[in-house]
């Protein structure tokens, strides 16, 4: 009998193939999202929808790998390589041509667009991890295949991080698509080599792997499903919770996904010591960090963000590690991965589809934290109750005392949380409560009770009260909170932690534009003087409705248009929650839909004054800041018109980006950086005013001598375009350590 070739097992080849496939898989995810940005905008829900599509395609790919494994390896290879070649006909990746969605249908339209754009190649590439592991295990001398899944997730993490750090800053979208196609070709070659390496093992053709191990009990399959669903859902809910309620950082969405992918590395490693250590530490982490899961009032600095990310990592490793410990024999490998993928899709569907419809706030986050605590392995911690010499009665007394002391500490914590600061006392008490709960952890029930109580005390009272009082509403595009302050006679609208507008409630003051729209702001300067600049019949347009504050600069005879992507925001003006439009410009027409798409439909020269104010929390509407978007605005603007763009942002310096677009088009521009003195109802803001010539800007300056404009800062080396844009060079890293409110 011929001896097996030294390379028969081919572990390095299979590792490289799995790494390459996973790298491409998670490189193409943000790439397609970037392609779709001009149509979809940058709301966190868009990313959650994208993740749901990817998880569904991943599930389909795993099902395909599972079914394909029923035939001989030679037939598997032929089928898979033929399908890879057919899917290559859809390359390079380009956005599917779908008509814009009807208002309110984004939740279905976004997944359809992404699935049609990337479906075939994503489906086949996603099958690489389980399929290559099955091919690897076909050689009885190759060893256990499970650790190869760690390599898969390392590749996934590398692809995810490579996009914002390398691909997006250095390459245009078109070149990204071409480069990805080259990588796809390399993957096909590697798959072919893997097939050749397994064509014969010890001189014999490899048949389909025969399933000989006992059937997996239904109860274990359900547990696999839950152990996969909770980390997947928690990854998305952490993204929503962080970007909505703690810090609306740019690029923050990539961190939870990266942590989720990295968690598989220790969880599926052959060396179990790291996974067991992390699983043991998951208990104190979830008892401390999980207590902040109901916070909805913003935070100070990065510490709560770091704690939330740590919670995600420890929980994911612990649950994925428990799932690995419950794995079947390798002959049922594809079934295991299929169930795991189905669980991931279920967790994603709960967070991305069910939660926005059912909940008024990100309630899915504390629910999933609680579910994670209910699933954490108890065996990861030593059972102190079984120490030698311990009297059973003393054990009971100790546990009762721990529960009582935890209740006392919770009472102290409640008094501390009356101050919103996340200070030393608050963290110290949270740690002390966690230590008490660790004494109870082997009972699970009491420790879950302590966790829920901590959530409620840390921030849940206010969050529950807001839900009880109906202060919040939730749509596909975000979570909105309306608060009424009777003592100040004021009503506010917030999207996450970002204030979107205020209105005084007294009849004498309710027409006053406040916050970013005060009389000394750039918007206030221009809109208050619209009649002097453009005549009695001035045509005014605003992108981003908010509370409708700017409408109260209107005068009879003017024409007003608002562009708003979210019908839920319009409802605040329609139902009288905010009355700026009704009181000041009842003739206003509100257009629902993406502003860039809708403005492109407007006749040339439709507006004399056009304001772009479309930030979603602190997310950057990149598709509204590109050179192509500027062309849409200028086309809709009259020859003597003024364009205003609101660039106030805590984390990104947008002035050089606009300066580059202004310079390339030969326009005139200046900035009004308004910082109202003292404690007032006016908010610091930065508005860029753009005109086709300097004379038109000079007209505005003459009308507003007490509110000077200044020249724009030096232009960026490259302006943003639909094909090439990156926020990375303009991130203000120092801002991440300051107050996020």
CATH of residue 641: 3.40.50.150
Q: Classify residue 243 by burial, with Cβ atoms within 10 Å: 0-12, 13-18, 19+.
A: buried
- What is the domain range of residue 165? 1-210
Residue 480 has a CB neighbour count (10 Å cut-off) of 22
Give the per-residue pLDDT at 18.
92
Distance from C-alpha of 124 to C-alpha of 129, rounded to nearest angstrom: 10
Rounded CA gap, 49 and 351, in Å?
A: 9
Is the previous residue joined to 92 through a cis bond, with omega within 30 degrees of 0? yes
Residue 274 lies in a domain: no
CA–CA dist 410, 402 (Å, integer)? 12
Same domain as 518, residue 417: no
pLDDT in tens, 312-354: 999 999 999 999 999 988 778 888 888 998 999 899 889 888 8
Tell me: do 438 and 559 sit in the same domain: no
Q: What does the DSSP assignment read for 74-105?
A: HHHHHHHHHHHHHHGGGPSP-----PPPPTT-
93 & 199 share domain: yes
117 and 6 share one domain: yes
- How many CB atoms are closer than 10 A to CB 308? 26
Q: What CA–CA distances, in Å, run from 278 to 195, 283, 316, 322?
A: 37, 9, 10, 11
Nearest residue to 159 via CA among 134, 136, 132, 179 = 179
Which of 147, 182, 210 delimits the end of a domain? 210
The 8-class DSSP code of residue 622 comes to: G
The predicted pLDDT at position 87 comes to 93
Residue 508 CB-density burial (10 A; 0-12 exposed, 13-18 middle, 19+ buried): exposed
585 and 710 belong to one structural domain: yes
Tell me the whole-structure pTM to 2 decimals: 0.81
- The H or E element containing residue 399 is helix 392-416
| SS3 state at 35 | helix
Helix (H, G, I), strand (E, B) or coil at 683: coil
Q: Which of 210, 225, 260 is the last residue of a domain?
A: 210
Judgement on whether residues 147 and 199 belong to the same structural domain of the protein: yes
- Residue 610 domain flag: yes
Nearest CA-CA partner of 676 in 701, 653, 648, 656: 648
Is there a domain that residue 316 lies in?
no
CATH of the domain at 204: 1.20.1250.20
Cα 705 to Cα 708: distance, rounded to the nearest angstrom: 6
Query: Rounded to an integer, what distance in angstroms lies between the CA atom of residue 691 and that of residue 486?
Result: 42
Within a domain: 410:
yes
Q: Could you write out the three-class secondary structure of 293-344?
A: CCCCCCCECCHHHHHHHHHHHHHHHHHHHHHHHCCCCHHHHHHHHHHHHHHH
Q: Which residue numbers in the chain have pLDDT < 70?
A: 1-9, 37-48, 101-107, 200-211, 243-253, 297-302, 389, 417-423, 497, 615-621, 679, 733-741
Q: Are residues 549 and 459 in the same domain?
A: no
Q: From CA 37, how far away is CA 725, in angstroms rounded? A: 11
| Residues 92 and 11 placed together within one structural domain of the fold | yes
Partners of 668 in the beta sheet? 691
- The token pair that represents 442 in the structure block: 């082997």
Q: Within a domain: residue 571?
A: yes
Q: Tell me: the pLDDT tens digits for 155-199?
A: 888 988 888 888 888 899 899 999 999 999 999 999 999 988 877
Q: In this structure, are 397 and 535 located in the same domain? A: no
The residues pairing with 541 across neighbouring beta strands, listed in sequence order, are 561, 610
Helix (H) or strand (E) holding 674: strand 668-674
Is residue 242 assigned to a domain?
Answer: no
Instruction: Tell me what percent of the chain is helix, strand and coil, each rounded to the nearest 5.
Output: 60, 10, 30
Determine the Cα angle at 128 with ends 229 and 223, to 5°.
25
Asked whether the CA dihedral 287, 293, 297, 300 is positive or negative, the reply is: positive
Query: What is the DSSP-derived secondary structure letter of residue 471?
Result: -
Q: Assess if residue 32 is contained within a domain.
A: yes
Where a domain ends, among 468, 503, 522?
Answer: 468
Number of other residues whose CB lies within 10 A of the CB of residue 63: 18
User: What's the number of domains the chain is made of?
Assistant: 3
The pLDDT score that the predictor gives to residue 150 is 80
Looking at the fold, whether 458 and 524 belong to one and the same domain comes out as no
Beta-carbon neighbour count of residue 145 at 10 Å?
20
116 and 35 fall within a common domain: yes
User: Is residue 319 within 8 Å of residue 227, measured between CB atoms?
Assistant: yes
**Closest by CA position to 481, among listed 469, 472, 491:** 472
**189 is a domain residue:** yes
CB 592 within 8 A of CB 565: yes
| One domain for residues 37 and 169 | yes
């Amino acid at each position: 009998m011929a001896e097996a070739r030294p390379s028969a097992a081919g572990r390095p080849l299979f590792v490289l193939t799995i790494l390459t496939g996973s790298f491409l898989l998670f490189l193409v995810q943000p790439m397609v999202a970037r392609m779709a940005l001009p149509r979809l905008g940058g709301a966190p829900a868009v990313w959650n929808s994208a993740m749901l599509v990817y998880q569904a395609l991943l599930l389909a790919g795993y099902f395909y790998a599972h079914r394909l494994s029923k035939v001989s390896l030679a037939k598997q290879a032929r089928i898979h390589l033929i399908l890879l070649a057919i899917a290559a006909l859809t390359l390079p990746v380009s956005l599917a041509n779908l008509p814009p969605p009807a208002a309110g249908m984004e939740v279905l339209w976004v997944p359809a667009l992404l699935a049609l754009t990337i479906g075939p190649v994503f489906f086949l590439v996603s099958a690489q991890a389980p399929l290559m592991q099955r091919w690897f295990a076909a050689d009885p001398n190759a060893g256990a295949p499970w650790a190869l899944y760690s390599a898969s997730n390392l590749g996934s993490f590398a692809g995810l991080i490579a996009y914002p750090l390398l691909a997006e800053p250095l390459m245009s979208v078109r070149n990204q698509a071409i480069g990805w196609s080259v990588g796809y070709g390399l993957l096909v070659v590697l798959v072919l080599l893997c097939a050749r390496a397994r064509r014969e093992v010890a001189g014999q053709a490899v048949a389909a792997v025969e399933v000989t191990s006992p059937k997996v009990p239904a109860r274990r399959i359900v547990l696999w499903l839950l152990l996969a669903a909770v980390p997947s859902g928690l990854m998305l809910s952490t993204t929503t919770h962080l970007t909505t309620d703690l810090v609306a950082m740019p690029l923050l969405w990539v961190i939870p996904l990266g942590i989720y992918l990295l968690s598989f590395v220790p969880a599926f490693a052959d060396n179990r010591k790291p996974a067991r250590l992390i699983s043991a530490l998951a208990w104190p982490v979830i008892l401390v960090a999980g207590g902040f899961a109901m916070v909805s009032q913003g935070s100070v600095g990065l510490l709560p963000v770091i704690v939330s990310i740590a919670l995600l990592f420890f929980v994911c490793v612990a649950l994925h590690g428990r799932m690995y410990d419950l794995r079947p024999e390798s002959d049922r490998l594809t079934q295991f991965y299929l169930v795991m993928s189905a669980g991931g899709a279920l967790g994603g569907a709960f967070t991305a589809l069910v939660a926005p419809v059912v909940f008024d706030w990100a309630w899915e986050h504390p629910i999933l934290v609680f579910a994670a605590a209910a699933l954490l392995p108890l065996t990861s911690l030593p059972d102190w109750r079984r120490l030698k010499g311990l009297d059973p009665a003393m054990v009971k007394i100790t546990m009762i005392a721990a529960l009582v002391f935890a209740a006392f500490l919770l009472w102290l914590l409640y008094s501390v949380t009356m101050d919103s600061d996340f200070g030393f006392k608050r963290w110290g008490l949270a740690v002390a409560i966690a230590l008490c709960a660790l004494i109870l952890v082997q009972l699970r029930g009491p420790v879950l009770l302590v966790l829920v109580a901590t959530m409620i005390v840390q921030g849940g009272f206010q969050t529950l009260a807001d839900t009880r009082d109906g202060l919040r509403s939730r749509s596909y595009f975000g979570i909105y909170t309306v608060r009424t302050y009777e003592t100040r006679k004021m009503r506010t609208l917030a999207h996450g932690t970002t204030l979107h507008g205020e209105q005084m409630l007294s009849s004498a003051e309710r027409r006053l534009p406040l916050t970013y729209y005060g009389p000394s702001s750039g918007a206030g300067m221009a809109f208050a003087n619209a009649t002097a600049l453009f005549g009695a019949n001035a045509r005014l347009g605003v992108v981003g409705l908010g509370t409708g504050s700017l409408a109260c600069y209107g005068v009879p005879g003017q024409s007003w248009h608002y562009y708003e992507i979210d019908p839920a925001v319009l409802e605040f003006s329609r139902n009288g929650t905010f009355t700026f439009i009704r009181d000041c410009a009842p003739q206003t027409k509100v257009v629902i839909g993406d502003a860039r798409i809708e403005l492109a439909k407007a006749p040339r020269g439709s507006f004399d004054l056009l304001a772009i104010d479309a930030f979603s929390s602190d997310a950057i509407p990149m598709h509204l800041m590109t050179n192509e978007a500027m062309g849409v605005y200028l086309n809709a603007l009259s020859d003597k018109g003024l364009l205003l763009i609101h660039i106030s942002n805590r984390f990104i310096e947008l002035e050089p980006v606009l300066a580059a677009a202004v310079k390339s088009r030969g326009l005139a521009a200046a900035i009004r950086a308004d910082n109202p003195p003292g404690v007032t109802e006016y908010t610091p803001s930065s508005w860029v005013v753009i005109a086709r010539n300097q004379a038109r800007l000079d007209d505005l300056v003459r009308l507003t001598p007490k509110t000077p404009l200044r020249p724009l800062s030096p232009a960026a080396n490259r302006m943003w375009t639909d094909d090439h844009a990156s926020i990375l060079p303009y991130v203000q890293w120092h801002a991440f350590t300051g107050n996020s409110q």
